[in-house]
Amino acid sequence: MPKRLPRPGSTHDAVADAIRAGEGRNQIARSFGVSSGSVSKIAREYRLSFDDDWRTATATEAHRVDAALARLTREEELIGELLHLPQTTRQRDGKATKAYRRISYQLYDIHRHHA
Protein backbone atom coordinates (compact mmCIF):
# COMPACT_ATOMS: atom_id res chain seq x y z
CA MET A 1 0.00 0.00 0.00
CA PRO A 2 1.51 3.36 -0.96
CA LYS A 3 2.20 5.89 1.75
CA ARG A 4 -0.31 8.66 2.10
CA LEU A 5 0.73 12.19 1.33
CA PRO A 6 1.21 14.31 4.45
CA ARG A 7 -1.54 16.72 5.29
CA PRO A 8 -0.79 20.35 4.59
CA GLY A 9 0.16 22.52 7.56
CA SER A 10 -2.99 24.54 7.06
CA THR A 11 -5.08 21.46 7.94
CA HIS A 12 -3.03 20.95 11.10
CA ASP A 13 -3.53 24.60 12.03
CA ALA A 14 -7.27 24.41 11.35
CA VAL A 15 -7.61 21.25 13.45
CA ALA A 16 -5.63 22.90 16.27
CA ASP A 17 -7.92 25.93 16.08
CA ALA A 18 -10.98 23.67 16.31
CA ILE A 19 -9.50 21.98 19.39
CA ARG A 20 -8.87 25.38 20.97
CA ALA A 21 -12.49 26.32 20.17
CA GLY A 22 -13.64 23.39 22.31
CA GLU A 23 -15.01 21.07 19.62
CA GLY A 24 -14.98 17.34 20.30
CA ARG A 25 -12.43 14.94 18.83
CA ASN A 26 -14.93 12.96 16.74
CA GLN A 27 -16.69 16.09 15.50
CA ILE A 28 -13.36 17.57 14.35
CA ALA A 29 -12.38 14.31 12.65
CA ARG A 30 -15.66 14.22 10.71
CA SER A 31 -15.53 17.85 9.65
CA PHE A 32 -11.93 17.64 8.36
CA GLY A 33 -12.20 14.11 6.97
CA VAL A 34 -9.41 12.70 9.14
CA SER A 35 -9.33 9.98 11.76
CA SER A 36 -9.80 10.71 15.45
CA GLY A 37 -6.28 9.35 15.96
CA SER A 38 -4.95 12.05 13.64
CA VAL A 39 -6.81 14.68 15.63
CA SER A 40 -5.25 13.32 18.84
CA LYS A 41 -1.80 13.34 17.24
CA ILE A 42 -2.22 16.96 16.13
CA ALA A 43 -3.39 17.86 19.64
CA ARG A 44 -0.22 16.32 21.08
CA GLU A 45 1.96 18.13 18.53
CA TYR A 46 0.41 21.47 19.52
CA ARG A 47 0.35 20.51 23.24
CA LEU A 48 -3.42 20.89 23.41
CA SER A 49 -6.01 18.91 25.33
CA PHE A 50 -9.73 18.41 24.98
CA ASP A 51 -12.05 20.18 27.40
CA ASP A 52 -14.16 17.08 28.02
CA ASP A 53 -11.36 15.11 29.71
CA TRP A 54 -13.12 15.64 33.05
CA ARG A 55 -16.28 14.04 31.62
CA THR A 56 -14.35 10.96 30.62
CA ALA A 57 -12.77 10.69 34.06
CA THR A 58 -16.16 11.14 35.73
CA ALA A 59 -17.81 8.53 33.52
CA THR A 60 -14.96 6.09 34.13
CA GLU A 61 -15.25 6.52 37.89
CA ALA A 62 -19.04 6.10 37.75
CA HIS A 63 -18.61 2.88 35.75
CA ARG A 64 -16.04 1.60 38.27
CA VAL A 65 -18.40 2.30 41.18
CA ASP A 66 -21.33 0.62 39.38
CA ALA A 67 -19.22 -2.46 38.67
CA ALA A 68 -18.09 -2.64 42.32
CA LEU A 69 -21.71 -2.39 43.47
CA ALA A 70 -22.72 -5.17 41.07
CA ARG A 71 -19.89 -7.37 42.42
CA LEU A 72 -20.95 -6.73 46.02
CA THR A 73 -24.59 -7.47 45.21
CA ARG A 74 -23.62 -10.74 43.50
CA GLU A 75 -21.34 -11.65 46.41
CA GLU A 76 -24.22 -11.12 48.84
CA GLU A 77 -26.46 -13.38 46.72
CA LEU A 78 -23.80 -16.12 46.60
CA ILE A 79 -23.17 -15.98 50.35
CA GLY A 80 -26.92 -16.34 50.87
CA GLU A 81 -26.91 -19.41 48.58
CA LEU A 82 -23.92 -20.82 50.45
CA LEU A 83 -25.65 -20.38 53.81
CA HIS A 84 -28.78 -22.14 52.51
CA LEU A 85 -26.87 -25.24 51.41
CA PRO A 86 -27.50 -28.38 53.43
CA GLN A 87 -25.29 -28.83 56.49
CA THR A 88 -23.24 -31.42 54.67
CA THR A 89 -20.95 -29.73 52.18
CA ARG A 90 -18.70 -32.77 51.86
CA GLN A 91 -19.35 -36.08 50.17
CA ARG A 92 -18.49 -39.42 51.75
CA ASP A 93 -15.10 -39.47 50.07
CA GLY A 94 -14.23 -36.07 51.58
CA LYS A 95 -14.62 -34.01 48.41
CA ALA A 96 -16.74 -30.87 48.44
CA THR A 97 -20.20 -31.23 46.96
CA LYS A 98 -20.85 -29.92 43.47
CA ALA A 99 -23.10 -27.12 44.77
CA TYR A 100 -20.48 -26.01 47.31
CA ARG A 101 -17.69 -26.05 44.69
CA ARG A 102 -19.81 -24.07 42.24
CA ILE A 103 -20.67 -21.33 44.73
CA SER A 104 -17.22 -21.12 46.27
CA TYR A 105 -15.59 -20.78 42.83
CA GLN A 106 -18.06 -18.05 41.86
CA LEU A 107 -17.17 -16.17 45.05
CA TYR A 108 -13.48 -16.56 44.25
CA ASP A 109 -14.06 -15.45 40.66
CA ILE A 110 -15.83 -12.22 41.71
CA HIS A 111 -12.72 -10.92 43.43
CA ARG A 112 -10.06 -12.59 41.33
CA HIS A 113 -9.10 -9.45 39.39
CA HIS A 114 -10.41 -6.81 41.76
CA ALA A 115 -8.59 -7.43 45.00
Angle at the Cα of 84 from the Cα atoms of 81 and 88, rounded to 5 degrees: 115
Say if residue 5's pLDDT is above 50: no
Task: Provide the pLDDT for residue 9.
Answer: 66
CB 19 within 8 A of CB 32: no
- The amino acid that residue 90 corresponds to is R
Q: What is the pLDDT of residues 15-36, one digit of tens each?
A: 999 988 888 888 999 998 888 8
pLDDT band (50, 70, 90) for residue 94: confident
What does DSSP assign to residue 85? S
What are φ and ψ of residue 90, in 5° steps?
A: -125, 145
Q: What is the pLDDT of residues 40-77, one digit of tens each?
A: 899 998 898 876 667 778 888 999 999 999 999 999 99
CB 43 within 8 A of CB 52: no
Instruction: Name residues whose C-beta falls within 8 Å of residue 89's C-beta, 6 or more positions apart in sequence.
Output: 96, 97, 100
| pTM listed for this prediction | 0.53
